[in-house]
Chains A and B, each alone.
Chain A
Amino acid sequence: MSADLLLEIGCEEIPAKFVTRALAELPEMMAARLTEARLSHAGVSVLGTPRRLAVIVRGLAARQVDLSEEVVGPPVSAAFGADGAPTKAGIGFAQKNGVDPAHLGKREVPGKKGLYAVAERHVVGQATPTLLPALLASVVSGISWPKSMRWGWGESTFVRPIQWIVALYGAEVVPFGWAELTSGRMSQGHRFLAPTALEISSASSYTEALRGAFVIVDPEARRDVVRGELSRIERETGLKVRPDEALIDEVVQLGEYPVGICGEFAREFLEVPEEVIVTAMRTHQRYFAMTDGDGKLAPRFVTLMATVVKDPKVVAAGNQRVLAARLADARFFFTEDQKKPLAEWGAKLESVVFQAKLGEAAKSMGEKVRRVGEIATAIAAHVGAAGGACDAAVVQRAAALCKADLATGIVGEFPELQGVMGMHYARRQGAGEGVAVAIAEHYLPKGQGSALPSTVEGAALALADRLDTLVGCFAVGLVPSGSADPFGLRRAALGILQILLLWGPGGECAVDSFPDLEALLSMAEHAYGPALNDGQRRGGRERLRAYFQARLQVLLTDEGLAPQDAQAVVTQDTVLRIPAARLRERARGGPGAGGRSSGVQAHRQHPG
């Protein structure tokens, strides 16, 4: 005998990223609670929207599994008298475990001397409905929210106020209380399209019942709807929606009933760089950008409403007005920024603090830029001497300008456009294509497996920027611990490793002509000059070597190398030798590393 279980937590709008997080956490937690409770089942699944999280357990057993276990009691010397009959202590132990004192056993216990009394305890499983109320309340309380809140007079916390709870085992309500609420069978339909209580008869009818009330409760089904809406608008306009999976992921969790609409903006805004328009639409408004047949940005956008309205044109017009104001702002910044040469914006960085702990002589962003220039120039010289082709003049000019856009208005408004705007401004001001590209590329790679710099000058600058950050921070004792990494040091180290291991289209410039990690660290230490003392340098170097070693082992393990092989390949000596040793290739040749490795080529991506 078994039945399906449904738990639905109805909530005021949950932030999109938290919906995703909770839906990932819930099945495992529910399964763990059921296992703890000795309740067998045929699988756990989740459904959810910003207004509800639902867990369904299929084929949940009607009774808890009986428990049979041996309980160890007092030593035999205490449990039994000289006559072999149980003592008072022995009888007490037996009774506590529901066993006839005559049935107590004796045996040795590992790690202890002598014999001990043991009881064979039998616990008959309870009926599932008696166990579920406490279990479900603990599931509701057990969801871990990065930020949670209280409401009204209550002191229970949740991500936003809970409005209702549906709990059904088969067709029966599982009654339990949470905060001021009591579970029942009444859910709610769509906030605007079906704003009434909705009776749910069982788990099996849940999805359909909600569908009838304008709620697509399955996120995957909602994703299909979103994709369908995007395709519909593509057909209607003859344009293409710019692919953006991350935005689809977010939009899926922004409403219960997505409906796409298309809006437009004035063509004159297209004089602003594409990245600015796309970012303004995406980050502030969650709009999808559209492109024409040639792949060029079209003056149109797609947004997904969370409801059905009387006249979609009204909503489109409203969105257009908002976007026009945002684009006007962006264009204003873009125009203002260009009234000054990029270098002049860069001069403002003298008063911006990069890292206060580095001390007066080294803490400003202006100082950082000078150091990065020195390191990058040294890298360029090394590459040249080793027979590679790295234009030192380009590196130097790009280094001087690489952070300048941080002071511009548009990057102040859209921080994610750092580098890209520097590139546009440098290009428009005649700094040369090599310099412009290196400015943008010095922020690459942005993460594991993402695009690497396409030019050797960009790669040199990317290494120099990260080396400077790491050497300085580690020297003054700023080291990432656990998951905390406020200064992005883990990402910086990973960026260096990825460039050293994966970068280098063999033809143009073999990565082997780069300095090895030890030489790179020395260059960065040198650039700090007297700002770091000997003790800081030595300490920093030691901590950094250990850190790089650990990160590199993780990186290789992530890519399929067995952990023990990664440890064997990446030692405290070899880590300082990359990339000359092309450690990665050695790793592939090493024992156990062969088959699953995806290889350098597959991981190399260049911006198009």
Chain B
Amino acid sequence: MYLQDLIFALQSFWAQRGCVVEQPVDVEVGAGTFHPSTFLRVLGPEPWNAAFAQFCRRPADGRYGENPNRLGAYYQFQVGLKPSPKNVQELYLDSLRRIGLDPASHDIRFVEDDWESPTLGAWGLGWEVWCDGMEITQFTYFQQAGGIDLLPVTAELTYGIERIAMYVQGVDNVYDLKWDKNVTYGQIRHPWEVEYSRYQFEELDAPFAFTLFDKYESECKRLLARGLVFPGYEMCMKSSHAFNSLDARGAISVTERQRFIGRVRGMAKACAETYVATRATLGFPLLANTLGQLAKAAYDGAAESGVNAGALAAARAVAAYAEEIPHVG
């Protein structure tokens, strides 16, 4: 199975089960979790089921294209199911069957993994899924994002595209992966890996990146104050990437590191709160009209004690109608 067929297969599998197939976000991110379709959509009472491939940058993991397994950027296939369906594990296993990893032939297991993103103020519990000893997916029940308790809970499935493709194609070096019949992963990605390793480790202008971080942060605050959630959150994503780049460059000391993480988390939290408040004002439009109004009324009644209280109240107000609310599974 070619790498692109793997993506096609996962897209069509999840589309058939009721997911919107979105496209990657056009801003640098370290994980699909940063995509607004994950980080923002998991908040509040509205349902959301989406799947998409995401190009993810991990500057510190770059190896100048010389390591067969480690990359400075790679692809995740991200699935978010909100609310988490009761049969989500079965659905996931069916998706593996679709891409040729049948549990009748492979040792598939769910191995404990507690997930936490200090920059996003997010955490969840779940597993890393192993196929014959190799981690192929992170499977997380999101409990909190941007410091807000999540109700309903989203199940996030993050497939490691390269790893799965390497296994399916029986390839030991990621650059030997066949992207399609004619073109290899190396032909597409190797020059980028080489150049970006040089850029991140040697050429990145640290003072420039520090300035960018500060600007993005102040811009994030300014935009949120004007009620512009998506542009504000874009600044948050960009500052997070600036931090990752500076970290890879070795420009951030151990003590400063915590402070920078705290600053990104501050932005993420503010974005999350503004997002929920904005959705409430709109009457939580992804809920059917009457339910949206019910949730909005509950939110308005409780939001005095904070957005978190409002979000929980809104969800509780419609939880009894869970069966009427769109869900996968």
What residues make up the interface of A, taking CB atoms closer than 8 Å to B? 12-13, 15-16, 50, 147-153, 155, 159-161, 163, 191-192, 254-255, 285, 303, 305-307, 309-311, 314-315, 317-319, 321-325, 328-329, 351-353, 356
Binds A, one of B23-31, B32-40, B105-113: B105-113
> Which residue of A16, A306, A328, A353 is within 8 Å of B107 (Cβ)?
A306
- Contact check, A352 vs B254: say whether CB atoms are below 8 A apart: yes
Given contacts A13-B109, A310-B105, contact A153 B134 (CB under 8 A): no
- Contact check, A12 vs B110: say whether CB atoms are below 8 A apart: yes
Residues from chain A with a CB closer than 8 A to the CB of B134 are 318-319, 321-322
- Contact check, B110 vs A152: say whether CB atoms are below 8 A apart: no
- Contact check, B103 vs A254: say whether CB atoms are below 8 A apart: no
Residues from chain A with a CB closer than 8 A to the CB of B69 are 325, 329
**Nearest Cβ distance between residue A71 and chain B, in whole angstroms?**
41
Residues from chain B with a CB closer than 8 A to the CB of A307 are 103, 107-108
Binds A, one of B125-133, B204-212, B219-227, B260-268: B125-133
Can you give 11 contacting A-B residue pairs, CB < 8 Å? A12-B110, A13-B127, A150-B141, A152-B85, A152-B322, A153-B319, A160-B125, A309-B107, A318-B107, A318-B132, A322-B132
- Is B298 interfacial (CB-CB < 8 Å)? no
- Contact check, B108 vs A149: say whether CB atoms are below 8 A apart: no
Residues from chain A with a CB closer than 8 A to the CB of B151 are 150, 153, 155
- Is B68 interfacial (CB-CB < 8 Å)? yes
Closest-by-CB residue of B relative to A324 is: B172
Most chain A C-beta atoms within 10 Å of own C-beta, residue among B89, B112, B152: B112
- Is B153 interfacial (CB-CB < 8 Å)? yes
> Which residue of B112, B124, B153, B253 is within 8 Å of A351 (Cβ)?
B253
10 interchain residue pairs of minimum CB distance: A318-B132, A15-B112, A319-B133, A13-B110, A305-B107, A192-B103, A153-B322, A149-B125, A322-B133, A322-B134
Q: How far is the CA of A307 from the CA of B132 in the complex (A)?
A: 11
What residues make up the interface of B, taking CB atoms closer than 8 Å to A? 68-69, 83-86, 89, 103-112, 114, 124-127, 131-134, 141, 143, 151-153, 155, 167, 172, 253-255, 315-316, 319, 322
- Contact check, B104 vs A325: say whether CB atoms are below 8 A apart: no
**Nearest Cβ distance between residue A460 and chain B, in whole angstroms?**
30
Residues from chain A with a CB closer than 8 A to the CB of B254 are 351-353
> Which residue of B85, B131, B315 is within 8 Å of A318 (Cβ)?
B131
- Contact check, B104 vs A309: say whether CB atoms are below 8 A apart: yes
**Nearest Cβ distance between residue A303 and chain B, in whole angstroms?**
6
Closest-by-CB residue of A relative to B172 is: A321
- Contact check, A318 vs B152: say whether CB atoms are below 8 A apart: no
Residues from chain B with a CB closer than 8 A to the CB of A152 are 83-86, 152-153, 322
Closest-by-CB residue of A relative to B114 is: A147
- Contact check, B141 vs A151: say whether CB atoms are below 8 A apart: yes
Residues from chain B with a CB closer than 8 A to the CB of A254 are 109, 111
> Which residue of A16, A255, A310 is within 8 Å of B104 (Cβ)?
A310
- Contact check, B125 vs A153: say whether CB atoms are below 8 A apart: no
> Which residue of A151, A303, A305, A319 is within 8 Å of B153 (Cβ)?
A151
- Contact check, B143 vs A192: say whether CB atoms are below 8 A apart: no
- Contact check, B107 vs A315: say whether CB atoms are below 8 A apart: yes
**Nearest Cβ distance between residue B94 and chain A, in whole angstroms?**
12
Q: How far is the CA of A52 from the CA of B209 in the complex (A)?
A: 51
Residues from chain A with a CB closer than 8 A to the CB of B143 are 149-150
Q: How far is the CA of A97 from the CA of B86 in the complex (A)?
A: 48
Given contact pairs A150-B151, A318-B167, A322-B132, a sample of 20 additional A-B residue pairs in the complex whose CB atoms are under 8 Å apart: A13-B109, A13-B112, A147-B125, A149-B125, A149-B141, A149-B143, A150-B153, A151-B153, A152-B86, A153-B152, A163-B86, A285-B133, A306-B107, A306-B109, A307-B107, A307-B108, A309-B107, A319-B133, A321-B167, A321-B172
Q: How far is the CA of A206 from the CA of B272 in the complex (A)?
A: 48
Given contacts A153-B151, A160-B125, contact A314 B110 (CB under 8 A): no
Q: How far is the CA of A149 from the CA of B84 in the complex (A)?
A: 12
- Contact check, B114 vs A311: say whether CB atoms are below 8 A apart: no
Q: How far is the CA of A154 from the CA of B252 in the complex (A)?
A: 42
**Nearest Cβ distance between residue B79 and chain A, in whole angstroms?**
16
Q: How far is the CA of A351 from the CA of B133 in the complex (A)?
A: 37
Closest-by-CB residue of A relative to B103 is: A192
Given contacts A152-B152, A318-B131, contact A325 B141 (CB under 8 A): no
**Nearest Cβ distance between residue B169 and chain A, in whole angstroms?**
12
**Nearest Cβ distance between residue A52 and chain B, in whole angstroms?**
14
Residues from chain A with a CB closer than 8 A to the CB of B172 are 321, 324-325
**Nearest Cβ distance between residue B100 and chain A, in whole angstroms?**
12
Closest-by-CB residue of A relative to B255 is: A353
Residues from chain A with a CB closer than 8 A to the CB of B111 are 13, 254
Q: How far is the CA of A310 from the CA of B151 in the complex (A)?
A: 41
Residues from chain A with a CB closer than 8 A to the CB of B167 are 318, 321
Q: How far is the CA of A323 from the CA of B108 in the complex (A)?
A: 17
**Nearest Cβ distance between residue A348 and chain B, in whole angstroms?**
11
Residues from chain B with a CB closer than 8 A to the CB of A159 are 125
- Contact check, B83 vs A318: say whether CB atoms are below 8 A apart: no
Q: How far is the CA of A408 from the CA of B105 in the complex (A)?
A: 40
- Contact check, A315 vs B89: say whether CB atoms are below 8 A apart: no
Residues from chain B with a CB closer than 8 A to the CB of A147 are 114, 125
Q: How far is the CA of A50 from the CA of B131 in the complex (A)?
A: 17
- Contact check, A255 vs B109: say whether CB atoms are below 8 A apart: yes
- Contact check, B124 vs A149: say whether CB atoms are below 8 A apart: yes
**Nearest Cβ distance between residue B105 and chain A, in whole angstroms?**
5
- Contact check, A311 vs B105: say whether CB atoms are below 8 A apart: yes
Q: How far is the CA of A394 from the CA of B155 in the complex (A)?
A: 57
Q: How far is the CA of A306 from the CA of B105 in the complex (A)?
A: 12
- Contact check, B105 vs A314: say whether CB atoms are below 8 A apart: yes
Given contacts A255-B109, A319-B133, contact A192 B104 (CB under 8 A): yes
**Nearest Cβ distance between residue B325 and chain A, in whole angstroms?**
8
Closest-by-CB residue of A relative to B129 is: A13
Most chain B C-beta atoms within 10 Å of own C-beta, residue among A153, A163, A325: A153
Closest-by-CB residue of A relative to B155 is: A151
Residues from chain A with a CB closer than 8 A to the CB of B112 are 13, 15-16
Closest-by-CB residue of A relative to B322 is: A153
Residues from chain B with a CB closer than 8 A to the CB of A323 are 133
**Nearest Cβ distance between residue A120 and chain B, in whole angstroms?**
48
**Nearest Cβ distance between residue B154 and chain A, in whole angstroms?**
10
**Nearest Cβ distance between residue B74 and chain A, in whole angstroms?**
15
**Nearest Cβ distance between residue B279 and chain A, in whole angstroms?**
17
Closest-by-CB residue of B relative to A160 is: B125
Q: How far is the CA of A19 from the CA of B141 in the complex (A)?
A: 19
Q: How far is the CA of A519 from the CA of B167 in the complex (A)?
A: 61
Q: How far is the CA of A542 from the CA of B133 in the complex (A)?
A: 52
Closest-by-CB residue of B relative to A255 is: B109
